[in-house]
């Protein structure tokens, strides 16, 4: 499991998180994965590319689990 700290920010968009953590090569690839239903947020498939992830959210993409701290 990977933990991602927001630090002083209130949220991070889902597609930016995937790109920032290197789980995809580009924002376009992140958007395609989200559109294809390959990303889960809090145990539900998420289709919003810019879903605002906040402290406590749990994201699963491929075999990677990320928790927002």
Q: Please give the radius of gyration of the chain, using alpha carbons only, rounded to the nearest integer.
A: 11
In this prediction, what percent of the chain has a pLDDT beyond 90? 99
pLDDT score recorded for residue 46 = 98
pTM: 0.94
Contacts of 60 (CB under 8 A, 6+ apart): 39, 40, 66
What phi and psi values does residue 52 have, to the nearest 5 degrees?
A: -80, 110
Superfamily of 2-68 according to CATH: RNA-binding S4 domain (3.10.290.10)
pLDDT tens digits for range 6-64: 999 999 999 999 999 999 999 999 999 999 999 999 999 999 999 999 999 999 999 99
In this prediction, what percent of the chain has a pLDDT beyond 70? 100
pLDDT score recorded for residue 28 = 96
Rounded (10°) CA dihedral 12, 17, 20, 23: 180
């Amino acid at each position: 499991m990977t933990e991602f700290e927001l630090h002083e920010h209130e949220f991070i968009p889902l597609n930016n998180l995937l790109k920032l953590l290197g789980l995809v090569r580009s924002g376009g690839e992140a958007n395609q994965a989200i559109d294809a239903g390959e990303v889960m947020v809090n145990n539900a498939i998420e289709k919003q590319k810019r879903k605002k992830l906040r402290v406590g959210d749990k994201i699963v993409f491929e075999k990677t689990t990320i928790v927002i701290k």
